[in-house]
Amino acid sequence: MAVGVTLAVLITMFASNGFDSNRVKAHAPGAAQPTGAVAGAAFGTAKEGDCLTWSKSNAGDLTKVDCASKHLFEVTADIDLSKYPGKEFGPGSRFPDSLRFSELRDEHCLSAAQEYLGGRLDPRGKFVVGLINPGEAGWKAGERTLRCGLQVSGSQGIATKPITGGVRDINQSKTYDIGTCIGIKSNLPTDPVDCTQPHAFEIVSTVDLATHFNGGPPSKDDQDKYMEDACAKDAGDYLGSPDALRNKTLTLFWDALDARSWLAGSRSLNCLVGKGADQEGFATITGSAKGDIQIDGQAPVPPPNNGRYTPPPLPGAAPPVIPQPR
């Protein structure tokens, strides 16, 4: 069987409030991009705990919905820029660019999210800190209030995945449904795609660490030992044979929960199958691992039956550049 490798070798879990420099850049969404909206009734009356959604790319149809319904954004605070000292945000001031809004998000919205969740925001979880501004038209009309909130973002930092329920009541673990394939660009994972499309890896299971670990955060070594056995069994079940992973020259991967994630309440991790690229990141796979696949355009050649197959050393163990989720 192909050896298991901790996902951290190839993947950075990067959120708007920090990253681990010893992990490799990859599919995590990064900081959420500020969203501009047409400042209407829903935006103007949105307050802490309200849930908002929209369908237009410019959020021009932003509406307030019950948090039990699908939505894209949960408000954690409102920021009144008219109270800022100086003239930067005063009457007649220029509409800030996306960089300035990003700075305002980092300055105000991270602390607001932490306070909203009672300090239990998983910095590597599925939710990222976002900001909605009033849009240029609203700004010109004198609106100076921003909405901080939490959202689920794709690899480009855009709120695209609906949330059902209030964030306080949702497991923040960043996991995907079994059978999901994660796309690939420049050898790095992106967003979920159909498994017939080029992808970096495929989710074979979700493991609940709470069934094995109690109390404080388990060490990475202890998590690895447990995940290696759990993922090996799950991969065999998912692929239909304990030899399928070996015959398709694939490798098992998993990540680990750090202390911050554990203390925020996250307990789940995915097991996934993929293959390291020759240089860095992942090889490109097409087709579900349950059936016929191609790796970098070629059908995998099963290794000889004599002796155990060990895949080549995976790249990315050394820290490269830095850049964000169920």
Mean pLDDT, residues 266-283 taken together = 92
pLDDT tens by residue, 236-260: 999 999 999 999 999 999 999 999 9
Q: What is the per-residue pLDDT across 224-239, written as a single tens digit (0 to 9) for each?
A: 999 999 999 999 999 9
13-22, 100-109, 309-318, range with the lowest pLDDT: 13-22
User: Any idea which of 10-14, 55-59, 310-314 has the lowest mean pLDDT?
Assistant: 10-14
Q: What is the pLDDT of residue 58?
A: 79
What is the rounded distance in angstroms from the CA atom of residue 305 to the CA atom of residue 10?
29
For residue 31, the model assigns a pLDDT of 58
Q: Residue 314 has what pLDDT? A: 44
SS3 readout for 291-315: CCCEECCECCCCCCCCCCCCCCCCC
Please give the residue that has the higher pLDDT: either 25 or 149: 149
325, pLDDT greater than 70: no
The pLDDT of residue 188 is above 70: yes
3 state DSSP class of 57: coil
What is the model's pTM? 0.78
Tell which wins on pLDDT, 78 or 56.
Answer: 78
DSSP conformation letters of 235-257: HHHHHTSTTHHHHTT-EEEE---
Instruction: List the domain boundaries for the chain.
Output: 4-28+174-295, 35-169
Residue 239, both tokens: 């692929």
Spatial contact of 165 and 171, defined as CB atoms under 8 Å apart = no
Mean of the per-residue pLDDT values for the chain?
A: 84
Percentage of the chain exceeding pLDDT 70: 81
H helices of the chain, where?
41-45, 98-104, 110-116, 135-140, 220-239, 244-247, 259-263
Q: What would the mean pLDDT of 83-110 be, rounded to a whole number?
A: 94
Q: What is the pLDDT of residue 248?
A: 97
Average pLDDT for residues 100-104, to the nearest whole number? 95
Residues 6+ apart with CB under 8 A from 285: 181, 198, 199, 200, 201, 202, 274, 275, 293, 294, 295
**pLDDT tens readout for residues 143-177:** 999 999 999 988 777 887 899 999 999 999 999 99
**What is the pLDDT at residue 324?**
41
Encoded amino acid at 318, one letter: A
Q: What is the distance between the alpha carbons of residues 149 and 49, in angstroms, rounded to a whole number?
A: 9
Read off the pLDDT of residues 189-220 as tens digits, 9 standing for 90 and up: 999 999 999 999 999 999 999 999 999 999 99
Q: Which long-range contacts (CB under 8 A, 24 or more apart) does 88-96 make?
A: 89/144, 91/142, 95/136, 95/139, 95/140, 96/133
pLDDT at residue 312 is higher than 60? no
Stretch 92-116: mean pLDDT: 96
CA 216 to CA 238: how far, in whole Å? 31
Q: How confident is the model at residue 3 (pLDDT cuts 50, 70, 90)?
A: very low
